[in-house]
A and B are shown apart, each in its own frame.
Chain A
Amino acid sequence: MDIAAKTVKIAKAPSQPQEPLKSGQMIRLHIMRFNPRDAASVPHLQTYELEQSDGMTLFMALSEIREKLDPSLQFDFVCRAGICGSCAMVINGRPGLACRALTKDIGPEITLAPLPVFELIGDLSVNTGKWMRAMSERLEAWCHVKQQEVDLTRLEEPMDPDLADQIFELDRCIECGCCVSACGTARMREDFVGAVGINKIARFRLDPRDVRTDADYYEVIGDDSGVFGCMSLLGCHDVCPKDLPLQTQIAFIRRKMVAEGMK
């Protein structure tokens, strides 16, 4: 298929949502296309026209495009319910979860691009998984328990109910990558761990089951690729689809790491 021939120039999509669209109205999706595995492919925007339907999400719209208009279009959806973090992309200039973006709220002109920072697989699909695994390995982002083998027949260790809730509050991260793609530092430093990484440290630091101390955390996050790389632009906080308290957590971890560094 000659992709270049289908390229169209488009007007800049409106940055503000307009009046909600009605069923049957046409919407236009301008999608960044590029297949790195195709030598003939060049990055370009391609436009698709669809009819708006009730409750239409970008998941429904993109699936319809792939089924009916262009079977080669690459994108990632898994849960399509806003809980798995697969489908983050840049929607009208802002990172977000495509599955829960309603076209009536963001149309009729919708521009979609893959998340920056992450390795591009093709079109709207990026390799967030590879990035997250590398970050997790570097930060040792797992609960470092005292002993792996516990006596499972015995009552569990009690935990303060409020503390359990606080841990879950930070554990709600879905590793979608929105925070990283909205991060100024991540654009400049390839090795920056992002808000996702700092939040993980905050989560394990809060957890009494993790035996690590601030000295241990300082080892993995106490430099410019970690918490001191943050410029406090806080795009991460603005775009987090789970409304995680990233601003507070970054500030808190920075303070703790400063204290640790001053020791």
Chain B
Amino acid sequence: MKVIHTDVLVIGGGLAGLRVAVGARRRGHDVTILSLVPPKRSHSAAAQGGMQASLANVIKGQGDTEDVHFEDTVRGSDWGADQRVVRMFVNTAPKAVRELAAWGVPWSRVRRGDRTVIINGQPVTITERDEAHGLVAQRDFGGTKKWRTCYVSDGTGHAMLQTMSDQAIGAQIPVHERTEAVALIHDGGRCYGAIVRNLITGELVAYVAKATCIASGGAGRIYRVTTNAVICEGMGAGLALDTGIATVGNMEAVQFHPTGIFPAGILVTEGCRGDGGLLKDVDGHRFMPDYEPEKKELASRDVVSRRMEEHIAKGKGAKSRFGDHIWLDITLLGEKHIKHNLREVFEICHYFLGVDPTKEWVPVRPAQHYTMGGVRTNHTGESPNLKGLFAAGEAACWDMHGFNRLGGNSVAETVVAGMIVGEFIADFCDKPENDANIPTGVVREFLQHEQAKLDAILLGSGTEDASAIKARMQEIMSEKVGIFRTGKDLEQAVDELQQLLAKSRRIGLRSRAPGVNPELVTAYRTKMMLKLALCVAHGAQTRTESRGAHYREDYPTRNDARWLSRTLASWKGDATLPTLNYEALDIRKMELPPGWRGYGAKDYTDHPDTAARQSEVDAIKAKVSDRFERQRALMPFEHLLPKPLRGRNERIDERFPPRQMSKDLPDSEFAWESE
């Protein structure tokens, strides 16, 4: 039995995993990263448009603060988010941009003086301030009140990932590339690492660790049409689910991005619309203002995606041999802007569609894009059920996105959660009581159990085809658990997915090739993906309301009285359905009580506590004028952050006193609570 010992085992080499690793390493802990692919190939690289952080450098971002970012995020989540976590996030996001700015990310910068931008289809001249010249620039994105999305051309995730991965190499953090965790090692209450398969040799190895962090991204590939990379199969959430102890949260909250190119589903960034691109129908009519007069193309993604599908259903889609679609028109942005600021978009249209987006419209249709759900954690990133198991990034349900994530908040979450969770993991490993005291016999049993499972597939007498099962699952998810959901469709989906799960227990292989054996990989992943698909479908079936990206045609309104809660799914042994539980969200502690989002449907059913809390909030707001004091009176959060990450964020319009004073600030002026 081969065993590798490390303090911190990070599963996933994308932005979240790398930042967790760098943080824990800087605190002196031994860290090992597992990655399916070389880290720079992770799906983080696909985040084109940018990262939200309220720096307020550009003139259209003036007045932006953590407060505005907080409200946008909570409204975007349709009040499903944990508001304390959102506060932790918005306060750390500017620090994350600044850290990356110091580490080497070539953020696009503000240029002083006049420039012409496209707003609401019209060219408008705006003037950037002298004092902003050279600071990190922001662009407009959906669901935001201010221009807040920091970017590197349209290769933001790529550039961030390059820098983060380089820094991990500089910190001498080993990345075990082409390895895959196939099971967590645990004793029912404490996680001790993972059983890991080498994707070159096929060998199983045990990794024993004090802390294990799942940072393996989303589960987009349970859908047929998705913008996600082919490795985004939700294995991290699957690992947690397979323990039978850890839970996954809000799996039914699945985001569909408005602009996947049609029919391939490859993403073109929200920056297309943020920079002024328009959505047009078969007649060339710009239809979004008809539905969303206030935010138009820049309502939140769930709303824009639904409006597009609604418009197509009215027969207004453009026709093609693959079906109907909508047009994305960015020609008005001009060739220079497109080839400079939307270069990836230009390349994607050129290579995959044969379309020149400087002259022609781009066929688009919503495609699965983001998994709001994931491994349920508390604010430190640790599973409340399985000690020593952490999660960060898209793989986690931390939960700052609730039922709909804002564009630019995912790549921001990766690095922010990486910073915060990395510190908490280091704290955890600092404590002697958290040493990994696990008998080798237990490790051996886990390893043997996983080997037996693989052997059963490899050498067994099953006859079912893994690829066919997977394809059918993806079909069901896209057809019946998509943007518009009904009880009837969901019931059929759950029934058929259960049948597929039963079939997946009888998978047989055609190839017994030594080494990694890609068919074997498909087989064991498909089994896990089916469980996740059932968490999504059954969660959606049970949640009889519409909230954020979860839209039930038969229950079209948000129902706070009944459903202001987080879905928690766990999986017991050989069950064919997850066990669902619900964690209520407490309105009495909310800084922003539920209300209308400012776009989308205006009717919803209030929770009995909402009115009372709203008047409390109004009273505090009327009484306290300083925004920091007011915030603290409404919902204290500073004590939840790791100490090194506390502190206000300086802005052009909120300058700090000269530098020698800055060290005194957190103690004297902030009076951070500690608990």
Contacts and interface: CB of A to CB of B under 8 A. Distances in A.
B656 A175 contact: no
A71 B104 contact: no
Contacts of A160: 109, 134
A155 B659 CA distance: 11
Given A83-B46, A84-B45, A136 B169 contact: yes
Given A66-B518, A71-B509, A159-B109, A78 B134 contact: no
B41 A78 contact: yes
Contacts of A156: 55, 97-98, 101-102, 135-136
B657 to A, nearest CB: 11
Contacts of A37: 200-202, 514-515
B378 interface: no
B158 interface: yes
Contacts, number: 224
B649 interface: yes
Contacts of A262: none
Given A72-B518, A164-B106, A171-B159, A155 B513 contact: no
Contacts of A78: 37, 41-43, 229-231
A16 interface: no
A130 to B, nearest CB: 7
A204 to B, nearest CB: 8
A157 B101 contact: yes
Contacts of B625: none
Interface residues of B, number: 88
Contacts of B55: 156
Interface residues on A, range: 35 or more
Interface stretch (B160-168, B283-291, B401-409): B160-168
A28 interface: no
B124 interface: no
B104 A142 contact: yes
A165 B159 CA distance: 12
Q: Which of A140, A143, A210 gathers the greatest number of chain B CB atoms within 10 Å? A: A143
Contacts of A130: 177
B177 A71 contact: no
Contacts of B162: 171, 173
Contact of A132 (B38, B201, B347, B645): B38
B650 interface: yes
A174 B163 contact: no
A223 B513 CA distance: 43
B102 A155 contact: no
A185 to B, nearest CB: 23
B41 A85 contact: yes
Interface string B377-394: 000000000000000000
Interface stretch (A144-152, A230-238, A248-256): A144-152
Contacts of B103: 143, 145, 209
B263 interface: yes
A115 B524 CA distance: 29
Interface string B20-61: 000000100000000001101111011000000001000000
A242 B513 CA distance: 35
B200 A157 contact: no
A210 B170 CA distance: 13
A149 to B, nearest CB: 8
Contacts of B202: 37
Contacts of A150: 98-99, 102
A158 B46 contact: no
Contacts of A1: 510-513
A153 interface: yes
Given A142-B104, A171-B162, A155 B650 contact: yes
Contacts of A74: 515-516, 518
B595 to A, nearest CB: 32
B510 A141 contact: no
A161 B662 contact: no
Interface in B106-142: 106-111, 133-137
11 contacts: A37-B200, A66-B518, A142-B170, A143-B167, A152-B98, A153-B95, A154-B650, A155-B98, A158-B133, A168-B155, A175-B38
Interface of B: 26, 37-38, 40-43, 45-46, 55, 94-95, 97-99, 101-104, 106-111, 133-137, 152-153, 155, 158-159, 162-163, 166-167, 169-170, 175, 177-178, 200-202, 229-231, 263-264, 266-267, 321-322, 340, 344, 347-348, 351-353, 467, 471, 509-519, 522, 645, 647-652, 656, 659, 662, 665
